[in-house]
Structure 1
Amino acid sequence: MNAHSFSLKSMPPAMRKLLGGALMLGALLLTASSAAQAQEQSLTKPEAPAAANADSGVKAGADTAKAATADIEAGRYLAIAADCMACHTAPAGKPYAGGYAIESPLGTIYATNITPSKTAGIGNYTEAQFARALREGVRADGSHLYPAMPYTSYAMLTDGDVHKLYSYFMNAVEPVNEPASSQTRLPFPFNVRMSMLGWNAIFLDNKRFTPDAAKSQQINRGEYLANGLAHCSTCHTPRNFLMGEQGGAALAGAALGPWHAPNITSDPVSGVGGWSDAELVQYLKTGHAEGKGQAGGAMAEAVTNSFQHLRDDDIAAIVAYLRTVPPVRDSAQTKPAYSYGKAVSDEAGLRGMNGPNEHNSLNSGAVLFSGYCASCHSATGAGSSGQAYPSLFNNTATGSHNPANLVAAILNGVERKVGDKEILMPRFDEKSYVNPLTDKQIALIANYVLKQYGNPDVQVSEAYVAQARKGGEQPALARLQPYILPAIAVAVVLLLLIAGAVLMVRRRRRVPF
């Protein structure tokens, strides 16, 4: 996109406020203060025999070591529930050493090294500094993190759980003395980290979780897990112009690059209100619920690294909480996405249509489906035995009014590991090891699948596939990025002209005629 002249007046009010705030906030200095720690006064006791003192000292030391070990193991579980591994471990990289690329709408953000290395990681962090980074998005050096690190959700974590996480990362994670392989470099003005000070003032609710006495212990636990540690809203809640989560639309579904994180409110049509408890549990533990859907993209990573490893009672608690989330209906979805389609095959009619050496024969959705999809998903669309390759009917990816997940699955493939079982659908974009497909071919396949097995009212264009290939539709703030610097330049020039004009008027008034 080329830079054109752009006036501040033509910009949205929210954008004008953001730019003004970024300029002013850039001059602020961050200060940190540490709280004084009070020492407990011990009661004076009669002096005990030396042997008795030695025995009690040994016992106290053993108890302390046991408590420390318990904290470390509890922290390990909390780190799994928070899915720290998924973002802070690059493919084929060492655990928590960073370098993983998070494709945000505003640019690529690379996760940092959070091993206890004192030279490349967080080994020098105090527990207070660790807590501030985790819950406020501020590093030990005072610089701000981007909310791709879901500190807006982790703000809910209790002091006790933060201590356990700190114990785990400092004592049970292997230090990696190399910085993350790639560093975040967002375009202006998103690279001005100080602007996050203003963003946090608007969107960060820095309050700890408080159980609701009117709700059961199970629902409270589920809310803490879903909204805090598992940070479900980070993906499943739509965002506003400034990329903050929209109030009143919690978990109602949102774009996630080329993928779409679906509505997981209790609505029976647009959300998961029509799923049984057993289906929701199965989905979270395996990434697949027969007759409903399967996990791909970021959700597949969450299943691989997090949900499948949680205790059954915690999974049940999350499900119980989801039942209480206020329903949000999407008017474009007239019936549940999983209710569309049936088994049907065009395979017989395709036999003998083309000669064995005929060129350009892959010219229809039916032929492309037969050649690229039917061997795994079957000619009838019923999927494979055991559903490692799922049915294409009664499937939320094909029955939704939004074809994002169908197209993204074809482009990027699906990969998740449950136990020792690898679930893999190959990708068909330019990185495919099978055979890359063009935008036109993917559109033909998607439209054939939608007509045969899914929502027949949905159409996929070549342009839609091309956009998904580039990472999906950009939000308004990202689309405005090329104009922001010219807008600031225009604003500075206008301010200088106005200041000059005012100065000239004042001087003229002082000159006598």
Structure 2
Amino acid sequence: MKLKSLLIANAVLLGSFALQAHAEDEAQLIKQGEYLSRLGDCMACHTVSGKGDYAGGLAIESNLGTIYSTNITPDKEHGIGNYSEQQFSDAVRKGVLPNGARLYPAMPYPDYAKISDADMHALYVYFMKGVKPSSEQPPETDLSFPFSQRWGMRFWNWAFTSDKPFQPIGGASEEVNRGAYIVESLGHCGSCHTPRGLGMNEKALDSGDDQFLAGGSLNNWDVPSLRGLPRWSEQEIVDYLQTGRNDKAAVGGEMKSVIEHSSSHMTDADLKAIASYLKFLGGNPALQAYDVKKQQATEAKLTAAKGLSEGERLYIDNCGACHFVTGKGAPGIFPELDQATIVNARDPGGLIHTILAGAQQPSTEKAPSTLAMPGFAKRLDDDQVAKLATFIRQGWSNNAPAVTKDQVAEVRKTLKGE
């Protein structure tokens, strides 16, 4: 009798240990999945201010029309609570829903296809057990014909996606390959920084093609190449991703939400891996030869403040206090204008938008202050903005085409009360 009682007690004890171990494993998976969701920047697209996390409803403007993000909480009616792990994986990596409907590639599944099975499992556990369910019903995406025919995405996927898993770069260090995995899969950096083809497809999906991360265009902003980033050191890349600023630049446009919701939450090791990978890619020549005499001539003229053009006068009156006559700004506070990517972009839309609407850096753990640049839409008319932007694009060492007031007028139409 005593032996039987002892065996029962031991079985109960072992069962208790097993349950505790399972709970600990599950807790670790949830924590890992939460971090992976940050790497994948899921929050930025699937969360709207004032709504629950991952409840969807964000309006994503595309060339096809407005696409609304879905509810990806574990709610069983309005979310993904009924998804099996395989169905979850198919949605994330293939853009295919359990009912066979096809997602639009506003969901970056062409990049997410490279997420490893282990990371996919952790993500599934997190979204099913670590996210609060929400009964929020986002607006339905309703594109015009023929884009409303989601079945056509089957042929788009056949032509422009790949189910090939992530391929480590032969001969590269472990750190470079960790950075490559993040950038090419969860980070989906190519969805913005790789040029698009006629089918609105990314022209390359990995580092095996020189077009990968070679720059693109998004919402009338030129998106810079990330290949090599010759003007930035590895530490400056880390600083930018971690805080939205470094000694040369400050974040703007769509990248602000990436910093806020994703890269500022990454570990130092992963940020260093990303920086190491981007420098490893190379292939991006410097913006242009630095013209010291031209830079000095602009600085001297602005300092003397004599015989100024209207663009130069507008700069002194509106910009000089922060960016200075040198165009170098203040390291880590006000970004450089001399040789800045946004200033010398082929399309001046990003620069024009920043002048009109201003900009604000995100608050992050390593840089909690939210430095802001005011917008000048109410202060300057289209002609004045064009002359100011033209001076900035051609002053110091910059050498970009002039800006017209018609270009300013087109950007002004898009402000929507900013």
Q: TM-score range by the shorter chain?
A: 0.7 to 0.9
Q: Distance in 1 between matches of 2:326 and 2:255?
A: 27
2:173 partner letter? S
The answer as to 2:337 corresponding to 1:392 is: yes
Q: Are residues 183 and 439 of structure 1, via their aligned partners in 2, closer, same or farther at CA, if it must alter by over 3 Å?
A: farther
Residue from 250, 262, 273 that aligns with 1:294: 250
The answer as to 2:63 corresponding to 1:105 is: yes
Identity between Structure 1 and Structure 2 (%): 38
The answer as to 2:392 corresponding to 1:446 is: no
Q: Which moved more, 1:339-348 or 1:110-119?
A: 339-348
**Mapped contact 1:76–1:165 kept (Cα < 8 A):** yes
Aligned match of 2:408: 465
Q: Distance in 1 between matches of 2:301 and 2:69?
A: 45
Aligned match of 1:383: 329
Aligned match of 1:476: none
Aligned match of 2:351: 406
The answer as to 2:200 corresponding to 1:251 is: no
Matches within 5 A, 1:498-509: none
**CA offset digits 1:79-100 (Å, max 9, x no partner):** 0111111111123433212122
Q: Are residues 423 and 98 of structure 1, via their aligned partners in 2, closer, same or farther at CA, if it must alter by over 3 Å?
A: farther
Q: Distance in 2 between matches of 1:337 and 1:225?
A: 37
Q: Are residues 253 and 457 of structure 1, via their aligned partners in 2, closer, same or farther at CA, if it must alter by over 3 Å?
A: closer
Aligned match of 1:417: 363
The answer as to 2:37 corresponding to 1:79 is: yes
Q: Distance in 1 between matches of 2:279 and 2:386?
A: 36
Question: Per-residue deviation at 1:328?
Answer: 5.1
Matches within 5 A, 1:144-159: 144-159=102-117
Question: Per-residue deviation at 1:404?
Answer: 3.8
Question: Per-residue deviation at 1:224?
Answer: 0.7
**Mapped contact 1:91–1:100 kept (Cα < 8 A):** no
Q: Distance in 1 between matches of 2:290 and 2:270?
A: 27
Matches within 5 A, 1:261-276: 261-266=223-228, 272-276=229-233
Question: Per-residue deviation at 1:340?
Answer: 8.3
Q: Distance in 2 between matches of 1:190 and 1:408?
A: 29
**Mapped contact 1:337–1:398 kept (Cα < 8 A):** no
**Mapped contact 1:350–1:367 kept (Cα < 8 A):** no
Question: Per-residue deviation at 1:336?
Answer: 7.1
1:374 partner letter? G
2:310 partner letter? S
Q: Secondary structure at the match of 2:61?
A: strand
The answer as to 2:146 corresponding to 1:184 is: no
Q: Between Structure 1 and Structure 2, how many residues are aligned?
A: 402
Aligned match of 1:323: 279
Query: RMSD of the alignment, in Å?
Result: 3.0
The answer as to 2:299 corresponding to 1:309 is: no
Q: Distance in 2 between matches of 1:238 and 1:74?
A: 32
Question: Per-residue deviation at 1:402?
Answer: 4.6
Q: Secondary structure at the match of 1:260?
A: strand
Question: Per-residue deviation at 1:69?
Answer: 0.1
Q: Are residues 119 and 426 of structure 1, via their aligned partners in 2, closer, same or farther at CA, if it must alter by over 3 Å?
A: farther
Question: Per-residue deviation at 1:54?
Answer: 1.1
Question: Per-residue deviation at 1:106?
Answer: 2.2
Q: Distance in 1 between matches of 2:261 and 2:402?
A: 34
Question: Per-residue deviation at 1:169?
Answer: 1.3
**Mapped contact 2:197–2:203 kept (Cα < 8 A):** yes
Q: Are residues 157 and 150 of structure 1, via their aligned partners in 2, closer, same or farther at CA, if it must alter by over 3 Å?
A: same
Aligned match of 1:242: 199
Q: Are residues 275 and 193 of structure 1, via their aligned partners in 2, closer, same or farther at CA, if it must alter by over 3 Å?
A: same
Matches within 5 A, 1:7-86: 49-86=7-44
Question: Per-residue deviation at 1:48?
Answer: 8.5
The answer for unaligned runs of 5 or more in structure 1 is: 1-46, 267-271, 354-362, 430-434, 473-513
**CA offset digits 1:425-457 (Å, max 9, x no partner):** 23445xxxxx26443232122012223345244
Question: Per-residue deviation at 1:210?
Answer: 4.0
TM-score by length of structure 1 reads 0.71
Q: Secondary structure at the match of 2:385?
A: helix
Q: Are residues 85 and 344 of structure 1, via their aligned partners in 2, closer, same or farther at CA, if it must alter by over 3 Å?
A: farther
Q: Are residues 338 and 228 of structure 1, via their aligned partners in 2, closer, same or farther at CA, if it must alter by over 3 Å?
A: farther
Q: Distance in 1 between matches of 2:344 and 2:271?
A: 26
Q: Are residues 314 and 340 of structure 1, via their aligned partners in 2, closer, same or farther at CA, if it must alter by over 3 Å?
A: farther
**Mapped contact 1:392–1:454 kept (Cα < 8 A):** no
Q: Are residues 381 and 211 of structure 1, via their aligned partners in 2, closer, same or farther at CA, if it must alter by over 3 Å?
A: closer
Question: Per-residue deviation at 1:380?
Answer: 5.0
Q: Distance in 2 between matches of 1:334 and 1:394?
A: 8
1:108 partner letter? T
Q: Distance in 1 between matches of 2:173 and 2:6?
A: 48
TM-score by length of structure 2 reads 0.87
1:418 partner letter? T
**CA offset digits 1:160-187 (Å, max 9, x no partner):** 111111111122222221112x332222
Matches within 5 A, 1:120-269: 120-180=78-138, 182-212=139-169, 214-247=171-204, 248=209, 249-266=211-228
1:448 partner letter? F
Question: Per-residue deviation at 1:53?
Answer: 0.9
Q: Secondary structure at the match of 2:393?
A: helix
Q: Please tell me whether Structure 1 or Structure 2 has the larger radius of gyration of its CA atoms.
A: 1
**Mapped contact 1:218–1:317 kept (Cα < 8 A):** yes
Q: Distance in 2 between matches of 1:84 and 1:170?
A: 14
Q: Secondary structure at the match of 1:188?
A: coil
Q: Which moved more, 1:303-312 or 1:407-416?
A: 407-416
Q: Distance in 2 between matches of 1:465 and 1:339?
A: 30
